Amino acid sequence: MLSLWQNPEFRARMVAKRKTQHNPRRGSHLSEEQRAVLREAHTGERMSDAARAKMSISHTGKPLSTATREKMSAIRKGKHVNQPHTAAATEKRRLAQVGRHHRAETLVKLGHISTARWNDPAYRENNVMSRPRGNRHYNWQGGASRRLYPSDWTKALRQSIRRRDCFACQVCGVHQSKAPLHVHHVDRDKTNGDPRNLVSLCCSCHATIHLRYEKFWMEFFVELSRRRMALPAPEGVVSVQARLSPSPDDNAERSISA
């Protein structure tokens, strides 16, 4: 029997025969009134996890017709306006999208939609131009981003800070090979180029520090600097003490100038 079932022609005939046989669970022979009765009888009942898994497997890979998509869209419209998803449902939806990517035609459609929105003056007025700017923004720092850096803010200085921190973010620990590192001023004063006031941060942590919890991060970096001064420098890395302590040439220049 197994060898007979492996025959494609025999298998196709058996499948076609089963489709034409009477099956009370198939529903192709039911009228609209009978469908309505069955639908009402099962309304409110929750299917078991095994039944849900079977339905999910049976529908995997099957394209939905246009009529079915329109019905599903009409049912879902306004369903969750006043009833937001629970935390468990939100996490389930997030995990279902992990690793999935839009198709090329979908990306093109999304690009056209974004372009059409941006070209609409009413959209820009309501969503972009109306946002708080300048000193009306909650994170206004007195125009610090427009101030110029001093002349000693050089590429060599920034690279030396990254080397001192072993080319790793001092908050999350990510290495420079995986994310570019910024050099952050602890006291947020651009003119203070003291190495004790500089620390290496990745882009994400740098943005987080500038947005919230200023007092907490100030204390965090002060403690980090204190511990760094007490620890010996890694091999090949110039220590902070050596950077801050005056060299013999500096002492000689000071004595001459005095």
Domain range summary for the chain, segments of one domain joined by +:
168-231
Q: Up-side HSE of residue 35: CA atoms within 13 Å toward CB?
A: 7
For 103-138, what is each residue's pLDDT tens digit?
889 999 999 988 888 888 888 777 776 777 777 776
Beta bridge partners of 184: 199
Q: Is the predicted pLDDT of residue 234 greater than 70, yes or no?
A: no
Beta bridge partners of 185: 198
The Cα 242–Cα 30 span in angstroms is 87
User: What is the pLDDT, as a whole number, of residue 13?
Assistant: 77
Q: Is the predicted pLDDT of residue 25 greater than 70, yes or no?
A: no
Q: Is the predicted pLDDT of residue 140 greater than 80, yes or no?
A: no
Among 123-127, 201-205, 217-221, 240-244, the minimum mean pLDDT is found in 240-244
Q: How confident is the model at residue 20 (pLDDT cuts 50, 70, 90)?
A: low
* Percent of the chain whose pLDDT exceeds 70: 75
Q: What is the mean pLDDT of residues 231-238?
A: 44
With a CB cutoff of 8 Å and minimum separation 6, the contacts of 118 are 124
Contact 126, 163 (CB under 8 A): no
- Strands 181-185 and 198-202 turn out to be antiparallel
Q: What is the mean pLDDT of the chain?
A: 76
For residue 99, CA distances in Å to 102, 103, 136, 204 come to 10, 13, 40, 21
More confident residue, 125 or 195: 195
Q: What is the mean pLDDT of residues 26-46?
A: 74
Q: How confident is the model at residue 255 (pLDDT cuts 50, 70, 90)?
A: very low
Q: What is the mean pLDDT of residues 208-223?
A: 79
First vs last Cα of the chain: how many Å apart? 107
Residue 77, φ and ψ in degrees, nearest 5:
-65, 125
With tokens 């890979």, the residue in question is 61
The Cα 200–Cα 168 span in angstroms is 7
Q: What is the mean pLDDT of residues 149-176?
A: 90
Within 10 Å of residue 44's Cβ, how many Cβ atoms? 6
Q: Is the predicted pLDDT of residue 19 greater than 70, yes or no?
A: no
The Cα 193–Cα 190 span in angstroms is 7
With a CB cutoff of 8 Å and minimum separation 6, the contacts of 187 are 197, 218
Q: How confident is the model at residue 145 (pLDDT cuts 50, 70, 90)?
A: confident
User: What is the pLDDT, as a whole number, of residue 149?
Assistant: 86
3-class DSSP state of 191: coil
Within 10 Å of residue 228's Cβ, how many Cβ atoms? 19
* Percent of the chain whose pLDDT exceeds 90: 10
| Long-range pairs for 142-146: beta carbons < 8 A, 24 or more residues apart | 144/188, 144/190
In eight-state DSSP terms, residue 178 is T
The Cα 154–Cα 244 span in angstroms is 17
User: What is the pLDDT, as a whole number, of residue 182?
Assistant: 93
Cβ neighbourhood burial of 195 (10 Å; 0-12, 13-18, 19+): middle
